[in-house]
Amino acid sequence: MRRNQIPALAVRLSALAIVATLTVLAAPDGARAQDAVAAKAEIDKLIVELEEAYHSGDAASIAALYTEDAVLMPPNSEALTGRDAIQGLWTAALADGHQGDLSTKDVIVAGDYAIETGAYKIDMADGTHVDHGNYVVVWKKTPEGLRMARDIWNSNMAP
């Protein structure tokens, strides 16, 4: 008996370690699907927050949803880098009561990032249509949750 106990234990340990290895190797697919669902749900929630902030002209709350070194690329303007510059842009952009609405088309989860493709629509509070078009937002996983690291959009309307 004693002769076989050590190899049995060692083989069991070895099998455990191999299972652990395979689990780690196999993790990406399952983890990716879970990540995609979780990222989509978090983005849905953050978009509600963003829309509420757009509608109330709350540029500080919008800026807080970007990473510290985010790059914002608005049409017909140089790119802006960092939360302060981004808050300045949204303060100016929302001053006339624009009502922005966002609709996610798809989310690609990739490592520590989630790449959102979507459509935006801007109306005035009285319902007058201002603009609509497409956007790509690159969300980054941070300790505070997903935050926008890149934000670029353009209009579908004639110039």
Where along the sequence are the contacts to its own copies (CB under 8 A)? 3, 6-7, 10-11, 13-14, 17-18, 20-21, 24-25, 32, 71, 73-79, 108-113, 115, 117, 133-136, 138, 149-150, 152-159
For residue 88, give the DSSP letter.
Answer: H
Q: Nearer to its own copies by C-beta: 83 or 140?
A: 140
Q: Are 36 and 106 in contact (CB under 8 A)?
A: no
Q: Nearer to its own copies by C-beta: 14 or 56?
A: 14
Q: Nearer to its own copies by C-beta: 23 or 56?
A: 23
Q: Nearer to its own copies by C-beta: 62 or 109?
A: 109
Q: Shortest gap between Cβ of 130 and its own copies (angstroms)?
A: 13
Measured distance CA(47)–CA(51) in Å, rounded: 6
Q: Shortest gap between Cβ of 24 and its own copies (angstroms)?
A: 5
The letter for the amino acid at 29 is D
Measured distance CA(114)–CA(104) in Å, rounded: 12
83 token code pair: 């939360």
Q: Are 151 and 118 in contact (CB under 8 A)?
A: no
